[in-house]
Amino acid sequence: MPFWTIVYALLFYIATALLVGGLAYKIRQYAKTPAPLKIPTTPAPVTRQGVVLRMFREVAFFESLFRSNKWIWVFGYLFHFGMFLVLARHLRYFTNPVWTWVDLIQPFGLYAAFAMAAGLAGLWARRVFVDRVRYISALSDHLMLALLLAIALTGLGMDYITHTDIVALKAFFLGLMYFNWQPIPEDPLLLVHLGLVAALMIIFPVSKLLHAPGVFFSPTRNQVDNPRAEPGLRAHDSRHIAPWAAELDK
Amino acid sequence: MADFETPELKEYPVIPLLHEGVMAHSKPFIAKEQFQEPLGFPGELVDNWQQVAYDKMEELTGKYRSLQVFLDACVKCGACTDKCHYYLGTSDPKNMPVARQDLYRKVYRRKFTFAGKYFPRLVGAVDLTKEVLDDWYSYFHQCSQCRRCSVYCPYGIDTAEISMAAREVMDTIGVGQKYCNEIIGKVFKIGNNLGLPEPALADTLEGLEEDIEDETGVKVRLPLDEKGADVLVVTPSADFFAEPHVDGLMGYAKVFHEAGLSWTLSSHASEAANFGMFIGSYENMRKLSLRVREAALDLGVKRIIFGECGHAWRVAYSFLNTLAGPFDFLDPNYPVPQHILEFTHDLIQRGGITLDKSANDDMRLTFHDSCNIARASRMGAKPGGQFTIPREVIKASCNHFFDMPQDTIHDATYCCGGGGGLLTDDLMEIRVKGALPRMEALKHVVDEHGVTHMAAICAICKSQFAKVMPYYGFQMDSIVSVHQLVSNAIVMGNKQ
The string of DSSP letters for A82-140 reads: HHHHHHHHHGGGT-SSPPHHHHHTHHHHHHHHHHHHHHHHHHHHHHHHSHHHHHH--HH
CA distance B490 to B255: 8
Q: pLDDT, tens digit, for every residue of A192-245? A: 999 999 999 999 999 999 999 999 999 999 999 999 999 989 999 999 999 999
Residues of B in contact with A27 (CB under 8 A): none
Average pLDDT over residues A60-73: 98
Residues of A in contact with B123 (CB under 8 A): 138-140
> What domains are there in chain B, each with its CATH number?
33-176 (1.10.1060), 185-402+451-489 (no CATH)
- Rg of the Cα trace of chain B? 22
Nearest CB among B75, B77, B383 relative to A43 is that of: B383
CA distance A49 to B4: 51
CA distance A144 to A123: 11
**Contact assessment for residue B471 and residue B1, using Cβ atoms and an 8 Å cutoff:** yes
Average pLDDT over residues B73-94: 98
Q: Residues B30, B36, B41, CA angle at the centre, nearest 5°?
A: 115
- Reported as a pLDDT band with limits 50, 70 and 90, residue A250 is confident
* E strand or H helix at B487: helix B482-489
User: Which of A63, A132, A222 is the best residue to mutate to test the B interface, defined by the most B CB atoms within 10 Å of its own CB?
Assistant: A132
**Contact assessment for residue B401 and residue B365, using Cβ atoms and an 8 Å cutoff:** yes
**Which pLDDT belongs to residue B145?**
98
**Contact assessment for residue A202 and residue A23, using Cβ atoms and an 8 Å cutoff:** no
| Contact state of A44 with B383 under an 8 Å Cβ cutoff | yes
Question: Residues B74, B148, B274, B89: what is their CA dihedral angle, to the nearest 10 degrees?
Answer: 110
| Contact state of B319 with A38 under an 8 Å Cβ cutoff | yes
Nearest CB among A207, A220, A236 relative to B328 is that of: A236
Q: pLDDT, tens digit, for every residue of B112-140? A: 999 999 999 999 999 999 999 999 999 99
**Contact assessment for residue B88 and residue B15, using Cβ atoms and an 8 Å cutoff:** yes
| Contact state of A234 with B321 under an 8 Å Cβ cutoff | yes
Q: Residues B419, B423, B424, CA angle at the centre, nearest 5°?
A: 155
**Which pLDDT belongs to residue B3?**
84
| Contact state of B123 with A138 under an 8 Å Cβ cutoff | yes
- Reported as a pLDDT band with limits 50, 70 and 90, residue A110 is confident
The DSSP secondary structure of B385-421, one letter per residue, reads HHHHHHHHHHHHH-S-B-PPPGGGSGGGPPP-S-TTT
**Contact assessment for residue A105 and residue A89, using Cβ atoms and an 8 Å cutoff:** yes
Q: Residues in chain A, how many?
A: 250
CA distance A90 to A82: 12
Q: Is B61 on the interface with A (CB under 8 A)?
A: yes
- Whether residue A109 has pLDDT greater than 90: no
Neighbours of B23 (CB within 10 A): 24
> What domains are there in chain A, each with its CATH number?
3-27+39-220 (1.20.950.20)
CA distance A230 to A237: 10
CA distance B20 to B87: 11
Residue of B nearest to A58 (CA): B154
**Beta strands per DSSP E along B166-319:** 231-234, 263-264, 303-306
DSSP A15: H
CA distance B370 to B441: 14
**Contact assessment for residue B357 and residue B399, using Cβ atoms and an 8 Å cutoff:** yes
The DSSP secondary structure of B282-336, one letter per residue, reads HHHHHHHHHHHHHHHHHHT-SEEEE-S-HHHHHIIIIIHHHHH---TTS-TTS-B
CA distance B312 to B305: 12
Q: Is B322 on the interface with A (CB under 8 A)?
A: yes
Residues of A in contact with B336 (CB under 8 A): 228-230, 236
First to last CA, chain A: 66
Taking the CA of residue B64 and the nearest CA in chain A, the distance in Å comes to 5
| Contact state of B378 with A238 under an 8 Å Cβ cutoff | no
| Contact state of A221 with B74 under an 8 Å Cβ cutoff | no
- Rg of the Cα trace of chain A? 22
- Whether residue B496 has pLDDT greater than 50: no
| Contact state of A236 with B326 under an 8 Å Cβ cutoff | yes
Q: Which residues contact B419 (CB under 8 A, 6 or more apart)?
A: B144, B145, B146, B310, B311, B370, B371, B372, B458, B460, B461, B464
Cis status, amide bond into A43, omega within 30 of 0: yes
Taking the CA of residue B85 and the nearest CA in chain A, the distance in Å comes to 15
**Which pLDDT belongs to residue B457?**
98
CA distance B57 to A152: 38
Residues of A in contact with B61 (CB under 8 A): 33
Q: Which residues contact A195 (CB under 8 A, 6 or more apart)?
A: A8, A11
Cis status, amide bond into B326, omega within 30 of 0: yes
**Contact assessment for residue B420 and residue B160, using Cβ atoms and an 8 Å cutoff:** yes
Question: Residues B377, B382, B384, B388: what is their CA dihedral angle, to the nearest 10 degrees?
Answer: -110
Taking the CA of residue A30 and the nearest CA in chain B, the distance in Å comes to 6
| Contact state of A227 with B81 under an 8 Å Cβ cutoff | no
By CB atoms closer than 10 A (0-12, 13-18, 19+), residue B48 is exposed
From the list A87, A215, A224, A241, the residue with the least C-alpha distance to B153 is A215
Nearest CB among A33, A45, A231 relative to B62 is that of: A33
**Which pLDDT belongs to residue A1?**
83
Q: Look at residue B234 and give its three-state secondary structure.
A: strand
Residues of B in contact with A229 (CB under 8 A): 321, 325-327, 330, 332, 335-336
DSSP B490: B
CA distance B271 to B281: 18
Cis status, amide bond into A185, omega within 30 of 0: no
**Which pLDDT belongs to residue B1?**
45
Mean pLDDT rounded to a whole number for chain B: 96
Cis status, amide bond into A231, omega within 30 of 0: no
In angstroms, what CA-CA distances link A9 with A92, A200, B240?
19, 16, 74
**Contact assessment for residue B234 and residue B225, using Cβ atoms and an 8 Å cutoff:** no
The DSSP secondary structure of A202-220, one letter per residue, reads HHGGGSGGGHHHHGGG-HH
| Contact state of B156 with A237 under an 8 Å Cβ cutoff | no
Nearest CB among B78, B122, B317 relative to A130 is that of: B78
DSSP B94: G
Strand order in the sheet with B338-339: B263-264, B231-234, B303-306, B338-339
